[in-house]
Structure 1
Amino acid sequence: MRRSPSLMRFIFGLVIIIVAPADLRGEEPVGTYNFEFVAAPMVVSNPNFGNGGGATLMGLFDLAPKDENVQSSSLGLTGLYTDRGSHLLALGGNLLPNDRWRIKTAVADIGVKSELNVDELPERADFTTTVRAFHLNVLHRFGEHFFVGMRGVVKDIGYSPDNESGNQYLEAVNATDNLSASLGPVFSYDTRDNRFFPYEGVYAEAALMTNPTQLGNDESYGVLDGFINGYNQYRPGHVIAWRAYGRFTPSDTPYSDLSTLGRKADLRGYIAGENIAQHLISTQVEYRWQWRPKWAVVGFVGEAVLFDPGDLSRDSFYSSAGTGLRYLLSEERRLNFRVDYAVGEDYSDGLYVGISEAF
């Protein structure tokens, strides 16, 4: 897998600047920022990683404590390891310095031992994917609820087969090692009353990411994706949340950037990378009931269509359903520890444990 030392030094230097202590930046002492620390164990049992565990540590703080219109910022560290040898180590921050700017950044080292059942192969396809990635999203507010900005992503991706079927699968989908970057505009609309556990509001975002050859890509291509989430508290303690998501890629998109089920929350219950195509459209509805001051339960269903142009059929549609439990970690910020279990089609399922909601 190709390396770029100067690029990695730049990335980690930028992360250090972003998370540097306030006294190094000539700002107010940290004690004025209403700092709160939460920690939660992680139990992993899902199709993407296997079975294992880890922990998430998160710091919550207010960069504009005197402005009630600015919600809390966060900085979190997550580590996971599974029985397959899969691992994840990620540091991410969501910074809201005032009511005009929103900065989201993350750096991650990921290793996934995939075990895919492919009809055309005589045995299960086993292979390892390694990803080192850096993500930076900067938005500026225009008007009351609209934000416009840029997103940049740097990815170093490598593949190695763990058996002959894995080698055949990687060759069939043309999965090759690649160090590349993408850049594009982002448009956002946000009326949520809280970014961790909204009761009311709408949150929408769209991005057009360009992947030119000048940034290390073998071919130039673009990816259009976007979502809209809605939240409605029809009576105290009862919230209906819904989500619509779309992702569209051209025919020359490399394997690592094709649309797939199981990535993020779209849809829970599926193995990321097992079902791939150029385009993905998905919808979800989730019922959230806070039945005790610190406890809530959820139930959710989802439907998705994953397809290539001109190849839409009944086999392109996928369903998902599940339930989950929530425990309130921060009453002031409405931050939950969540456990979700979801089932998909063809005996696919997954257990998802984390901090904050799926969407």
Structure 2
Amino acid sequence: MRKTLLLIAALFSLGCLWAQTDSSTIKKQKFPFNILKKIQQGNLKFVPIPVFTVSPERGASFGAVINYFFKASRNQQDSLTRASLAYINLQYSTRKQFVSEVGYSVYTNAEKYYLQGEFGYKDFYERYWTLSDNSTSNNNYLGVQYEQLFLRGRLLKNLGKQFFVGLSYNVNSYNAITFESKAIPTIPTVPGINKSFVVGVGPAISIDKRDNQFSPQKGWYAEASLRLHDKWMGSNYKYTLYNIDLRRYIATMPKGILALNAVATITDGTVPFLEKQRLGSDKIMRGYFTGRFRDNQFAAAQMEYRYPIGKSFVLAAFLSAGQTAETLQKMEWNLLQSSVGGGLRYLVNKDKKLYIRIDAGYTKMKNLGIYFNLGDAF
């Protein structure tokens, strides 16, 4: 409880700091007409998104995500430094779930460094079906309740021409893991079923040729990292994680964008239960419950076509396929999961090409997922 209160206080302090930083600018303008003008022009820097969702996993969930967009360059007209983002995410649900998270994705002046990460606390609930078992019905699941403290991210240096090299780190603590009493499926007999604590660090590289990190329209992106989790670092479990993320953005006739993405996460060693890779999210394999399939290995690919309608709207259609498996040898084409869907984007910041999006994804297992978020999925 003490850790929770400290974290909430830290988040509140950070929020106050941001408010104080921006207040000097607001005082120079007439409120609320300056806000209305920015909305009309689509040039918001602070983008608060109210959160209200109803789902079987979480019940009714409400809160807010406050996004702050800025350029770290000393010269705001500098075209060499791309826009950066910091955010606070606070949510609470009728199932007494609480989420407090701070995240950032920052290009420093002249893009000499790139800093990305998030930290926070969760008192959360999710569903567990089985590990990579396609025969399990959607109705046969266990509820999993847990507390999580996490700190993860990357610190990269630009060696030139958007080639970044540095470190990836991960500190993750799961405690008070409990399962709903239900006969099918049975509680898994895997490491970390009651609690787990891992610490990992390793090299990371990325090549970032995108014109924009929020809603890219051209260029490409490649990221690879290797992270060692070992007991000499303080981790309770020893394993290695390999990650790769590839993205490509192609302009099509007459004015659309074809976006392609492939990701893979491979682990080797003793991976605790809640550190196993989950299939399903608002970014890839949309439509699946997060964790509908989970295991040591994960691979997926997706494509999305984006077509602008007028000056402020974009229509999107997407297709994805992927799977989890205990080992790479157990990945098979006939076990692939897939989803299709579409969505709408609305421009809220012309300068940074930032969109709010709503997506609907429908899966091979006849699940429907609805997502409301800021920025494109990838």
User: In structure 1, what is the equivalent of residue 210 of structure 2?
Assistant: 192
Q: Kindly report the root-mean-square deviation, in angstroms, between the aligned alpha carbons of the 2 structures.
A: 3.6
1:259 aligns with 2:268: no
Q: Which amino acid aligns with 1:94?
A: S
What are the within-5 Å matches in structure 2 for residues 1-359 of structure 1? 36-44=45-53, 49=58, 51-64=60-73, 65-98=76-109, 99-118=111-130, 119=136, 124-158=141-175, 159-165=177-183, 168-171=186-189, 174-235=192-253, 237-263=255-281, 265-309=283-327, 310-313=329-332, 316-359=335-378
Deviations 1:106-159 (A, max 9, x none): 212223322344549996412213222112321111121210011222111121
Aligned equivalents of 2:333, 2:191: Cα separation in 1: 23
**When the two structures are aligned, how many residues end up with a matched partner?**
351
Counterparts in 2 of 1:50 and 1:131: CA distance versus 1, 3 Å: same
Counterparts in 2 of 1:165 and 1:213: CA distance versus 1, 3 Å: farther
Deviations 1:265-307 (A, max 9, x none): 2311222223122221211000111102111111100011322
Aligned equivalents of 1:161, 1:182: Cα separation in 2: 27
Aligned equivalents of 1:316, 1:15: Cα separation in 2: 46
Aligned equivalents of 2:353, 2:226: Cα separation in 1: 31
Q: Which moved more, 1:292-301 or 1:72-81?
A: 72-81
- Would you say the 8 A contact 2:191–2:271 is kept in 1? no
> Taking every aligned residue pair, what percent have the same amino acid on both sides?
21
Structure 2: state its 5+ residue gaps.
27-42, 131-135
Counterparts in 2 of 1:222 and 1:74: CA distance versus 1, 3 Å: same
Counterparts in 2 of 1:301 and 1:69: CA distance versus 1, 3 Å: same
Counterparts in 2 of 1:87 and 1:267: CA distance versus 1, 3 Å: farther
- Would you say the 8 A contact 2:87–2:102 is kept in 1? yes
TM-score (norm 1): 0.85
Deviations 1:281-340 (A, max 9, x none): 211000111102111111100011322333234553110111111111111111111111
Counterparts in 2 of 1:165 and 1:357: CA distance versus 1, 3 Å: farther
Counterparts in 2 of 1:199 and 1:46: CA distance versus 1, 3 Å: farther
Structure 1: state its 5+ residue gaps.
none
- Would you say the 8 A contact 2:293–2:323 is kept in 1? no
Deviation at 1:165, TM superposition (A): 4.2
TM-score (norm 2): 0.81
Q: Which amino acid aligns with 2:80?
A: N
Aligned equivalents of 2:129, 2:196: Cα separation in 1: 25
- Would you say the 8 A contact 1:46–1:349 is kept in 2? no
- Would you say the 8 A contact 1:188–1:204 is kept in 2? yes
Aligned equivalents of 2:44, 2:345: Cα separation in 1: 23
